[in-house]
Structure 1
Amino acid sequence: MIHTHFADAAQVAAVIQRKFGIPYVFTPHSLGIDKQMQGVSCTGLGQRIEAEQSAIAQAGAIIVSTADEADRQVGAYCPSARGKLHVVPPGVPRLPMPARTGRAQMMVQQWFDRPDLPIILAVSRPVTKKNLAALVMAYGQDSVLQRQANLVILAGQHRHAAGEERANLDQLFALVESYGLNGRVALPEAHDAHDVAALYAHAAKGGVFVNPALHEPFGLTLIEAAASGTPVVATRNGGPAEIVAKIGHGDLIDPRDPQAISDAIKDIIGNADRHAALSAKARAGSSLYCWNAYASASVDIYRSVTQPRLLACDMDNTLTGCRESAAAFRAWRSTSSMPFVVATGRSLHATKMILRRWQLPEPDAYIVDVGTRIVWPDGEGGWQECAEFAAYLDQDWDRAVVARMVAPLGLKPQPRVTEGPHKISFFGTARDAAAIRAMLDANGVAARVIFSHGRLIDILAPNGGKAEAIAAYARKFGLSLSHCVAAGDSGNDADMLAACGHAIVVGNATAELDDLPARKGLMRVSRHHAAGVLEGLARLGLQDASSAAVAAAA
């Protein structure tokens, strides 16, 4: 299991999942779609959103910190992902304890004309969405608040700031100057964890912590403040609404209303009894956010990701080959609610004909032509091809160039009926297939070359193959490859057997699968054909009926 954070890490995990069948869980942060909703622009935002959408779609599960992240943000990317979304609040970050109160006292003595006043504390990166300028304006426009408290903003390490961060720091310093707030506002150029802990503890003594972000996905600083006993004033947009409601240690504000920000701060700082009550709630409520609970919930989610929820079976010599075991599989299928798809190298017409001949059950969908076509119900009693998957296969695929390049090899083509827009097929040997791969690679032509059944060569679009098709079908139901069970016997099954969370290599498998790497989740069963599929399903504990069916097939 891989637990990834941010979309770039998820892209790596997705490659590992396809190649080795290791599933991944995704925790997104600072999602691009949220920036877009808030009107914040940045370079490459479109590509970032696209990468995040792919990460969400392919993940076995998604763990977020708040219901707002789940409903408003992740839900906007992929509505079908809701079934694999889990809200698990994290714990409180470990700040140096006990806080060095003398350190804070020394800092405020250096910064302020009246160091005896309590402090208003904010901690965030100096980026536009954190809305720190609104806090300075709220303070600068309220002379009463200035007489009640000083303002401290820890806005990152200034020497590393560039671009947006540098522009926001310049704006903050300009506001301090324009309002004449020198000696009342501190914007230290650098700080460490000890400084943060000391200032939280100092703010607890009659002060307040403020998070004025335009939107905050979670709001970890509000829990840090709670652990120090510091009341809070926080944006009403996003995770802070849930945190403040749960702990009860402060007030929510409209971050675009400076007057509302200053009023909320004064309501806490100017009322000693209320401050004391909120401080007590803060200390008590911070224990609601616990890393042990987070770890326990995460492990339960990891286990759920590996639970089989979709069966994808090859047809020839996997489901077919033995009448008795085919009948046993039909009996198992009649008792199982697990979605079932056939993944075969044959055409749709041939697949339907063979299933009828062997009296095998009709699948929920067909993956045909070696994973270059997905055909599923059209909702009106018929079947339709998945146009979205076909468009995906068009990417980086030039069929004419591939056909022209391999023509000099003089290979015998398979019957024209076996070909398709994303597949070119020949008869040949493993050596012929290797020669095609070498030729295409040498010329930088993108394609997949698959050798199977000792004599079939299929050249596919680079995004084609059974594993990619199964992944696309699974995504329709909010599932990933980690939820899938694949069963097969030959070389054109290798990719799905390697990529799916669970894989069954039937006992009659060809030597083409001998090099398939051993891994957790891959089973090499002893029984042949459909009996081997049932043996694998029995090992997975999928319905008691599978064990009975295997026995009947014996």
Structure 2
Amino acid sequence: MFILHLALGGCLKSPPVAYGITADTGGHIAYVIEAARAQARRDDVDQVSIVTRRFADARLDSCHARARETLDAKVTIDRIATGTEAYLEKEALDAELPAFTAAFSAHLAALPRLPDVIHAHFADAAAVARAAQAQFGIPFAYTPHALGIDKRAAGLEGEGLDARIDAERAAIAGAAAILVSTRDEAERQIGGYGVPVTGRIHCLPPGVPQREAAGANDADTLADRLGDWLDRPELPILFAVARPVAKKNLAALVRAYAGDPVLRARANLVILAGRHDHAVGEEAAVLAELHRLAADPALAGRIALPPRHDAADVAALYARAAQGGVFVNPALHEPFGLTLIEAAAAGVPVVATRNGGPAEIVARLDHGVLIDPRDDAGIARACRAIIGDPARHAAFARAGRTRVGAYCWTDYAAASVAIYRDIAAPRLLACDIDHTLTGDSDGAAAFAAWRGASPLGFVVATGRGFEAAQAILARWQLPEPDAYIVDVGTRLLLADGAGGWRNCVEYARALDAGWDRAAVVRALAPLGVTPQPVETEGPHKLSFFGTAAEAAAIRGTLAAAGLGARVIFSHGELIDVLAPAGGKAAAIAFYAARHGWSLRRCIAAGDSGNDADMLAACGHAIVVGNAGAELADLPARAGLYRATAHHAAGIVEGLDRLGLVASATAPLAQAA
């Protein structure tokens, strides 16, 4: 499987990542990288590409201007360039989406193999994925990470929030699967958008992010330099790490600490809030408030607000907090809370917001307490109760370390790949009849057995007329299909619900476009090509007997006359002239679209030239072993399988190769 993760915002690079270096370089970066790496460790995953935006900014690592970065043996970070070279914050990315979408489509078109699935992170990536799905038929999964309705519920209105919520609603509606981390996200948050999601939403807890620990030569971490800010650095610490944005509510933690003299006497406060020198807008305003609060004389020598940090600093401060301290997440709302499971892995008790994912994490791990983020005094009391009770601190630390295995990237990878496989799985098999389904009785029996055990949709796509197609299926004791595509893809017959069949008039109308049957008849009359019996013709099809040279002459004549038509030569003697919008592939696409499927979700099986268009267009194709020379030049591609077995046994062989044959059916295929 080829998986593509799409994430536009923030500074996405190979570790170590400078979390907080921009407002959008947060937890989702860790999520994407760890998910990709875990998925790539699976034997059934061939390749994982993390696609992000390419930019150049003197303040940021030069790697962001590189088109490709290798993360692991099977994982790359691929960067897409647009006309804008500068780094863009989330709010500015909306204007860039059309250009990025066009560049992303060009990137996909140039790949030797299309991804089986796109996993879009945030609604902007989902909008790009929807466009790719429309053009290439690639299904997409969506992880929101944070949602606008919760920002609004927390009273954090801002410019563009209505547009963001609309974009999130469109992402939820369009995704084949929605992957979230907690039941709160699945039920309350996603449910708040009023979009039906039954069967599409999946709760997959992530694993613990891997921080770069301080090495033997890294003695100069922030944990070692707390004395630069603190009068008594040996005291336990209240530790917080978050982006300096209003919803993270860091000011409440400072107020809570400042308002509790006992807590100030027992512990220091250490807050990592991104890169202070890179802060603009909301970040700059939040940092200004933090520094104003920290200037309170009561906090002199008690609070550290380091202006920058790296992954080793964070790991070292978790280790420091484990020595009698507490990790605090006072966010107004937290969709998940990766830092809380990081703290658990480090043996650090937590005091966390009761709003959102932390409620589920703390209930599962039992490594701390929940607080109302708007109750400053309550935050202080919760911290003091753990700091001042060594036995309770030890119990929380032990519980976190013991139970954090519930959050496992290996488990996440197994579950997510299974979801990808389901949404990318074929939904429809379209088979030619003559010499494909027919020709060998044992093979036909094996196919009938497969059909009886498989939920996969099944249609026939034949050059025969409807009555002849029905008769030959009955003669070979082959199962009746869900629909008939006959007359070389110029008629589609659907079940009428009463045991009969009806012509699909919508498809017939679609074939009228660009088709002048009478003019085609007049143009071809001088050629004197031998017509097939009149019953083989139809409103959108003319049929002749002839050679490949005569088929070429027909093409040339119609082109010279400026008449639209498709000319198909098959079985060494049959020539069909079809409406330009017709053909087996067109009919399959029309039928599949009625069910919400793209051609990438379809499998075609055939043996002759009049099958070539569907064998080329469908996501998977099975060329049976007895195929004619007309298909020898069919280009090799991912998804095209040339069976060794002949006739229907070759179809079953190809289906088995795709993992679509139950064990009870496989021996029949082998016997055939």
Contact 1:27 1:63 in 2 (8 A): no
Once the two structures are TM-superposed, the CA of residue 154 in structure 1 deviates from its matched residue by 1.6
**Who is 2:136 aligned against?**
none
What is the CA–CA distance in structure 1 between the aligned matches of 2:146 and 2:403, rounded to whole Å? 28
Say which of 23, 38, 50 aligns to 2:116.
Answer: 23
CA separation of 1:308 and 1:220: change in aligned 2, threshold 3 A: closer
Once the two structures are TM-superposed, the CA of residue 283 in structure 1 deviates from its matched residue by 3.3
**Who is 1:505 aligned against?**
623
**Who is 1:335 aligned against?**
452
Worse-superposed segment, 174-183 or 232-241: 174-183
Say which of 282, 297, 308 aligns to 2:400.
Answer: 282
How big is each residue's C-alpha offset from its partner over 1:244-273, in whole Å with a ceiling of 9 and x where there is no partner? 233321112344544443332232223232
CA separation of 1:532 and 1:151: change in aligned 2, threshold 3 A: same
**Who is 1:444 aligned against?**
none
Alignment of 1:152 with 2:270, yes or no, is: yes
CA separation of 1:223 and 1:315: change in aligned 2, threshold 3 A: same
What is the CA–CA distance in structure 1 between the aligned matches of 2:268 and 2:655, rounded to whole Å? 67
**Who is 1:110 aligned against?**
228
Contact 1:233 1:264 in 2 (8 A): yes
Once the two structures are TM-superposed, the CA of residue 312 in structure 1 deviates from its matched residue by 0.7
Say which of 135, 149, 161 aligns to 1:37.
Answer: 149
User: Which structure is higher in RCO with an 8 Å CA cutoff and minimum separation 6?
Assistant: 1
What is the CA–CA distance in structure 2 between the aligned matches of 1:229 and 1:496, rounded to whole Å? 58
How big is each residue's C-alpha offset from its partner over 1:417-450, in whole Å with a ceiling of 9 and x where there is no partner? 579xxxxxxx9759959x98xx9xxxxxxx9989
Once the two structures are TM-superposed, the CA of residue 98 in structure 1 deviates from its matched residue by 6.1
**Who is 1:251 aligned against?**
369
What is the CA–CA distance in structure 2 between the aligned matches of 1:376 and 1:123, rounded to whole Å? 60
Q: Could you say what secondary structure the match of 2:398 adopts? A: helix
Once the two structures are TM-superposed, the CA of residue 28 in structure 1 deviates from its matched residue by 4.5
More helix by share: 1
Say which of 211, 223, 235 aligns to 2:341.
Answer: 223
* Pairing of 1:59-74 with structure 2 (within 5 A): 65-68=181-184
Once the two structures are TM-superposed, the CA of residue 229 in structure 1 deviates from its matched residue by 1.9
**Who is 2:469 aligned against?**
354
**Who is 1:443 aligned against?**
none
**Who is 2:60 aligned against?**
none
Once the two structures are TM-superposed, the CA of residue 131 in structure 1 deviates from its matched residue by 3.8
Q: Could you say what secondary structure the match of 1:251 adopts? A: strand
Once the two structures are TM-superposed, the CA of residue 486 in structure 1 deviates from its matched residue by 3.5
Say which of 509, 514, 522 aligns to 2:640.
Answer: 522
Alignment of 1:266 with 2:384, yes or no, is: yes
* Pairing of 1:129-278 with structure 2 (within 5 A): 129-139=247-257, 142=260, 145-162=263-280, 166-174=281-289, 176-177=291-292, 180-181=295-296, 183=300, 184-278=302-396
Q: Could you say what secondary structure the match of 1:38 adopts? A: helix
Contact 1:120 1:152 in 2 (8 A): yes
What is the CA–CA distance in structure 2 between the aligned matches of 1:512 and 1:213, rounded to whole Å? 65
CA separation of 1:4 and 1:538: change in aligned 2, threshold 3 A: closer
Contact 2:447 2:652 in 1 (8 A): no
CA separation of 1:334 and 1:205: change in aligned 2, threshold 3 A: closer
TM-score normalised over the length of structure 2 = 0.59
CA separation of 1:351 and 1:6: change in aligned 2, threshold 3 A: farther
Q: Could you say what secondary structure the match of 1:358 adopts? A: helix
Worse-superposed segment, 222-231 or 467-476: 467-476
Once the two structures are TM-superposed, the CA of residue 339 in structure 1 deviates from its matched residue by 2.4
What is the CA–CA distance in structure 2 between the aligned matches of 1:431 and 1:344, rounded to whole Å? 24
Give % identity.
Answer: 43
Tell me which amino acid in the other structure corresponds to 1:23: D
Once the two structures are TM-superposed, the CA of residue 93 in structure 1 deviates from its matched residue by 0.9
How big is each residue's C-alpha offset from its partner over 1:139-158, in whole Å with a ceiling of 9 and x where there is no partner? 45555544543333222223
What is the CA–CA distance in structure 2 between the aligned matches of 1:34 and 1:385, rounded to whole Å? 48
**Who is 1:2 aligned against?**
2
How big is each residue's C-alpha offset from its partner over 1:277-335, in whole Å with a ceiling of 9 and x where there is no partner? 2123233334554555656x369749965997745123353656548479536742563
Q: Could you say what secondary structure the match of 2:147 adopts? A: helix
What is the CA–CA distance in structure 2 between the aligned matches of 1:146 and 1:412, rounded to whole Å? 95
What is the CA–CA distance in structure 2 between the aligned matches of 1:469 and 1:17, rounded to whole Å? 26
Contact 1:67 1:87 in 2 (8 A): no
CA separation of 1:196 and 1:335: change in aligned 2, threshold 3 A: same
Contact 1:341 1:365 in 2 (8 A): yes
Tell me which amino acid in the other structure corresponds to 1:266: R
Tell me which amino acid in the other structure corresponds to 2:325: G
What is the CA–CA distance in structure 1 between the aligned matches of 2:338 and 2:630, rounded to whole Å? 52
Q: Could you say what secondary structure the match of 1:93 adopts? A: coil
**Who is 1:423 aligned against?**
none
Alignment of 1:95 with 2:207, yes or no, is: no
Contact 1:134 1:256 in 2 (8 A): yes
Contact 2:427 2:457 in 1 (8 A): yes
Tell me which amino acid in the other structure corresponds to 1:271: D
Once the two structures are TM-superposed, the CA of residue 542 in structure 1 deviates from its matched residue by 3.7
Contact 1:506 1:525 in 2 (8 A): yes
CA separation of 1:292 and 1:333: change in aligned 2, threshold 3 A: closer
Once the two structures are TM-superposed, the CA of residue 96 in structure 1 deviates from its matched residue by 1.0
Contact 1:5 1:29 in 2 (8 A): no
Contact 1:235 1:253 in 2 (8 A): yes
Q: Could you say what secondary structure the match of 2:328 adopts? A: strand
CA separation of 1:533 and 1:489: change in aligned 2, threshold 3 A: same
Tell me which amino acid in the other structure corresponds to 1:167: E
Contact 2:366 2:396 in 1 (8 A): yes
What is the CA–CA distance in structure 2 between the aligned matches of 1:110 and 1:15, rounded to whole Å? 51
CA separation of 1:474 and 1:191: change in aligned 2, threshold 3 A: farther
Say which of 197, 221, 224 aligns to 1:79.
Answer: 197
Two-structure CA RMSD over aligned residues (Å): 5.5
What is the CA–CA distance in structure 1 between the aligned matches of 2:487 and 2:447, rounded to whole Å? 24
Q: Could you say what secondary structure the match of 1:213 adopts? A: coil
CA separation of 1:195 and 1:231: change in aligned 2, threshold 3 A: same
Contact 1:22 1:482 in 2 (8 A): no
Tell me which amino acid in the other structure corresponds to 1:248: D
What is the CA–CA distance in structure 2 between the aligned matches of 1:365 and 1:466, rounded to whole Å? 11
Q: Could you say what secondary structure the match of 1:121 adopts? A: strand
Contact 1:508 1:529 in 2 (8 A): yes
Once the two structures are TM-superposed, the CA of residue 121 in structure 1 deviates from its matched residue by 1.7
Contact 1:101 1:202 in 2 (8 A): no
* Pairing of 1:459-474 with structure 2 (within 5 A): 459-460=580-581, 465=586
Once the two structures are TM-superposed, the CA of residue 367 in structure 1 deviates from its matched residue by 7.2
Once the two structures are TM-superposed, the CA of residue 458 in structure 1 deviates from its matched residue by 5.6
Once the two structures are TM-superposed, the CA of residue 231 in structure 1 deviates from its matched residue by 0.8
* Pairing of 1:379-394 with structure 2 (within 5 A): none
What is the CA–CA distance in structure 1 between the aligned matches of 2:491 and 2:361, rounded to whole Å? 47
What is the CA–CA distance in structure 2 between the aligned matches of 1:247 and 1:206, rounded to whole Å? 18
Q: Could you say what secondary structure the match of 1:226 adopts? A: helix
Contact 1:328 1:549 in 2 (8 A): no
Worse-superposed segment, 250-259 or 117-126: 250-259
**Who is 2:67 aligned against?**
none
